Structure 1
Amino acid sequence: MKSPVILENKDWAFEEIIEIWQSDKTIELSKDIVQIIKESRVALENKLSESKSPIYGINTGFGSLCNTVIEPNELDQLQINLVKSHACGTGKTISNQLSKLILLLKIIGLSKANSCIRIDVIQFLVTLYNKKWLPCIPEFGSLGASGDLAPLAHLTLLCIGEGKFVTEENNVISNVKEVFDKNNIQIPMLKAKEGLALLNGTQYSLARLIENCFLAKKILKQSEITSALSIEAFNCNPDFLNEEIHSIRKQIGQIEIAKSLRKILQKSELFAREKNSVQDPYSFRCIPQVLGASYDTIEYVKQIAEREINSVTDNPVMISNNEILSGGNFHAQPLALCSDFLSIAVAEIGNISERRIYQLINGSRGLPEFLTKNPGINSGYMIVQYSAAALVSMNKQSCTPSSVDSIVTSKGQEDHVSMAANAGIKCFDVVERTQTVIGMEWMTACRAWEFRKDNWKLNEELSTYFEKYRLMILFQEDDHIPSNDYKGTIEFLNSIS
């Protein structure tokens, strides 16, 4: 049995969160964290017993009802009503992996102890995580301010014995009370502040951003490998990879991409092969500049996501002197801007990839038109490029920023929202489409290489990738159904990145 990951009282690196999320390891709260959570709850309860002053969301209503004071004997019901009334999300249920990440992030956020919830509630969430009982959360409903209220309400329903969860075997469980009782799991219910603490946070928008950033990093690596094979097939002049060209530009991403391409292409015949052109089209020659800009964007987004992982995004919060104050840490504007920025960066990876597909099927540099020996009777990869063009066009439409939008809610109390969740949902669509385009380019570059391999050779790295791929996806000289190969191609690229 694998040792659990101990959640310490520390700041977590982006890569650490990815490793925990992608693994099958269980998690466990450290003794220090358990102690500070207990202490913060005691401090809150003491404050409630000693003071009759209104404290937002603890003994008042919510949103525009913030000035409505709630009687002490109704505080627990207030939290339960909050969760039920806010569980109004729509759309398809999010993936199990995304739900798992949200749950992990919520546990980490609450473990900072500024939210003052009972240790029983957090331990209940830890139990769900460890059993892989993942909350069923609808896709839509968050405005990315006041926290991701609707999505997190669906997560929190389990804390009052309602809602749904999905098991490791992918069974959806709706009779949650019965299942919890059968497994001797005590439903914690909710007391003062706890419903608000669970709903008030950016964990849904943050999970979207982290997932998209994680996938974008993989896509960028796949694009490096794929574009290297396209460079070989198109017989490019490799002068554009010269190290000094990039060092004098001083853009870190550009320098890193050029370095990576030189490594992938090291000892290639390309550097000695006779060329028909002094310069190549921008879609080849400017790969380091374009992918480098996306590299820099992904690194920036990772930095913002890492800060948010280690943040308290609840409201109100207890600060170091045990004072409880209202603020706006639930506002997900940093995440909204990052999701929009990341969408543009990933879309550009797809844009330049589609242009290389076009160049490879265009009938230049000694390659046959549409990469078929018998054009006319065969259309070759003519429509693969059409399909890629349709995807990158959709990406362009999806890159209109969500973060410039805002809608007034709650009688004007919540008069500016971030739309971070919508930005994240849209970004995921861009990521998925871009990965398909990269797959199409790999298919096209491999097909182009079929017309080169009798006379030219690839270096060891690219040759290994090409040969492994051909064991999975066989070359077909005559027209066939390219879309049958998309899934296998994407799986192959995922396996090497």
Structure 2
Amino acid sequence: MSELVLVAGAVSLAEWRAIYRGATFRLDAQCLPKVAESAAAVSRILSKGEPVYGINTGFGKLASTRIDDADLATLQRNIILSHAAGVGAPSPKSVVRLMMALKLVSLAQGASGIRPETLELMQAMLDHDLIPVVPCQGSVGASGDLAPLSHMAAAMIGVGDIDASGVVMSAMEALTSAGLSPLTPGPKEGLALLNGTQFSTANALAGLFEAEVLMQTALVTGALSTEAAKGSDAPFDARIHNLRRHKGQIDTAASLRELMSGSAIRASHLKGDERVQDPYCLRCQPQVMGAILDILRQAAVTLLTEANGVTDNPLIFTDPDEALSGGNFHAEPVAFAADMIAMAVCEIGSLSERRIAMLVDPALSGLPAFLTPRPGLNSGFMIPQVTAAALVSENKQRAYPASVDSIPTSANQEDHVSMAAHGARRLMEMCENAFAVIGIELLAAAQGVDFHAPLTSSEALERVRELTRRAVPSLDHDRHFHPDMQKAITLVRSGAIAAVAELKLPDVAA
């Protein structure tokens, strides 16, 4: 993959996705004059001798405290050190890297008072794979993601820890080994680095990108389950969905039709099957998965806007020189988007689990009980379905909206907060649960189709079954199930199931 050149304020969702997946990148150098002018504006504003929040005053509730000129550098260093107060496990390295890219693009728009050399240090750290260790807990999603971003900023001044290509070492040691000098923050720079929504946004984008894989793979496993149950594809008829008009529903129905096209199992359903209607977990896939696709697309629009925005405070404007305090750091849009993604992930797993439950029930599926040739002696898929049910229930609990909560901070100066950070952070764990559910469905659906031999499914679904069978053989008798499940989950998480189907599945966004 070639190196991406990011135009500040105009980075596409595809570029953010590529960065999350490991693509290298750098800022378009055309941003630097505007960045330098913003830093010069800070100097001109200071020369007027007037109090300006965060530049020559204290922070939060201490905003009325004036800081002497001799202490301005200490002020910026102090805010970084005092606000680096996160706890919990280190955030995933891919998420921190994305957070740094988001911060670079925000600062590069020349409204934050940052010097070009500060951006150059961030870029150099990324080029050398020097990724700060950022504890995952401590942000309430307004006055920005202060604690997580402060840990990033602390690493830039040589404090804290850095993951250097997989080896965790002190920040100073990591910078020195790469030939980099730690930052001495200028006026406004400490505050600009740690103020903003980039931690929440990075986690929400990561959740969105994983949910894309989930949604696409669940369409494939849903089609395979329909085949296993000898379900009808009549509910996927375009005429039904065109009448309702929801784009996501129309798109997912088209994908399901294409996945099942040419199936001999489907053709057998037309001959003598007395069932008039299938259970909702099969019949209503376009309605449920289409609604999921629609809200993921809506969340993508919100997060793309946020990713290209400027969210620190105060903001620096030139002509005339002004530092304006506002509230762009309040992450309510991100919190709402994260809640939408959480609901989508929860429903993907919920519908999949219902299909698993249907397949193991001979009264509904017409297949051997628990998908084993000799039920009784063998338990087959009995307990994998229980595991799927447990994971779905966990996700239901986690899907409760984070954005409806708030708790005052900073002595009631920050009296309403978004809770976007943990609303977004939970998405990765929810996706992991859902990947496991889809992995179990993949095995169950493949097992169900095995029972229909010599009949075969469509070419697309037979490729899926062949890939699955290369990793996990058919279950002829009980064996240690955990390794089979782990292999299936790995296939699902990698996106290989959706890819091998060779179907143009609906994208969340371009």
Q: TM-score range by the shorter chain?
A: over 0.9
- Any conservation in 1 of the 2:260–2:266 contact (CA below 8 Å)? no
Partner amino acid, structure 2, of 1:496: I
Q: Residue in 2 aligned with 1:255?
A: 250
Comparing 183-192 with 308-317, greater Cα deviation is found at 183-192
Kindly indicate whether the alpha-carbon contact (under 8 Å) linking 1:139 and 1:151 is maintained by their aligned counterparts in 2. Answer: yes
CA distance in 2, matches of 1:89, 1:264: 47
Partner of 2:508: none
Q: Alpha-carbon deviation of 1:36?
A: 0.9
Equivalent residues in 2 for 1:368-407, closer than 5 Å: 368-407=368-407
8 Å CA contact 1:21, 1:104 repeated in 2: no
* Whole-Å separation in 1 of the counterparts to 2:9 and 2:331: 22
Out of 279, 291, 307, the position equivalent to 1:309 is 307
Output the amino acid matched with 1:135: P
Q: Structure 2 stretches of 5 or more lacking a match?
A: 499-510
State percent identity of aligned pairs: 38
Counting only pairs closer than 5 Å after superposition, residues 355-374 of structure 1 correspond to structure 2 as: 355-364=354-363, 365-374=365-374
Q: Match of 1:95? A: 92
Q: Which amino acid aligns with 1:184?
A: G
- Residue 315 of structure 1 deviates from its aligned partner by 0.3
Which secondary structure state, in structure 2, belongs to the residue aligned with residue 215 of structure 1?
A: helix
Q: Which one-letter code corresponds to 1:108 in the other structure?
A: V
The 2-side partners of 1:259 and 1:239 are apart by 12
Q: Distance in 2 between matches of 1:193 and 1:148?
A: 17
Is 2:144 the partner of 1:143?
A: no
In the alignment, what sits opposite 1:195?
Answer: 190
Per-residue deviation, 1:10 = 4.5
Cα distance in 1 for partners of 2:258, 2:2 equals 37
Q: How far is 1:367 from its partner?
A: 0.6
The whole-number CA distance in structure 1 between the counterparts of 2:183 and 2:117 is: 6
Q: Deviations over 1:447-480 (max 9, x none)?
A: 11221123x1112111111112111111231112
Q: Say which is worse superposed, 402-411 or 63-72, in terms of deviation.
A: 402-411
Distance change >3 Å, CA 141–CA 349, structure 1 → 2: same
Q: Secondary structure at the match of 1:188?
A: coil
Q: More displaced, 319-328 or 241-250?
A: 319-328
Residues 402 and 60 (structure 1), Cα distance of their counterparts in 2 relative to 1, 3 Å cut: same
> SS of the residue aligned with 2:362?
coil
The amino acid across from 1:311 in the alignment is G
Q: How does 1:247-326 map to 2 (within 5 A)?
A: 247-273=242-268, 274=271, 275-321=273-319, 322-326=321-325
Note if contact 1:340-1:401 (Cα within 8 Å) is conserved in structure 2: yes
Alignment-derived partner of residue 8 in structure 1: 7
Alpha-carbon distance change, 107 to 399 in structure 1, aligned in 2, over 3 angstroms: same
Structure 1 runs of 4+ aligned residues shifted over 6 Å read none
Instruction: Give the deviation of 1:98 after TM superposition.
Output: 0.9
Deviation for aligned residue 1:236:
0.7
User: Please, what TM-score do these two structures have when normalized by structure 1?
Assistant: 0.96
Partner of 2:30: 32
Displacement of 1:492 after TM fit? 1.8
Distance 1:338 1:160 in 2: 33
Q: TM-score, normalised by structure 2?
A: 0.94
Give the corresponding residue for 1:172: 168
Tell me the SS of whatever aligns to 2:411: helix
Maintained 8 Å contact 1:159/1:187 = yes
Q: What CA distance in whole angstroms lies between the structure 2 residues aligned with 1:29 and 1:180?
A: 21
Per-residue CA deviations over 1:286-317 (Å, capped at 9, x if unaligned) read 00000111000100010001000110001000
Rounded to whole Å, the distance in 2 between the matches of 1:31 and 1:459 is: 51
Match of 1:480 in 2: 479
Q: Name 1:55's counterpart in structure 2.
A: 52
Distance 2:178 2:410 in 1: 40
* Shift in alpha-carbon separation, 1:235–1:410, aligned structure 2, 3 A: same
CA distance in 2, matches of 1:78, 1:411: 20
CA contact (8 A) 1:269 1:458 kept: yes
Cα shift at 1:9:
4.0
Shift of 1:185: 1.1
SS in 2 for 1:412: coil
Cα separation, partners in 2 of 1:179 and 1:209, compared to 1, 3 Å: closer
* Unpaired segments ≥5 residues, structure 1: none
Report the RMSD for the aligned CA atoms in angstroms: 1.4
Query: Helix, strand or coil: the match of 1:376?
Result: coil
- The CA deviation at 1:484 is 1.6
Judging changes above 3 Å, is the alpha-carbon distance between structure 1 residues 430 and 4 closer, same or farther for their aligned structure 2 residues? Answer: closer
Q: Is the 8 A contact 2:42 2:187 kept in 1?
A: no
> In 2, Cα distance between the equivalents of 1:152 and 1:180?
18
TM-superposed CA distance for 1:19, in Å, is 1.8
CA distance in 2, matches of 1:144, 1:292: 30
| Deviates further, 325-334 or 180-189 | 180-189
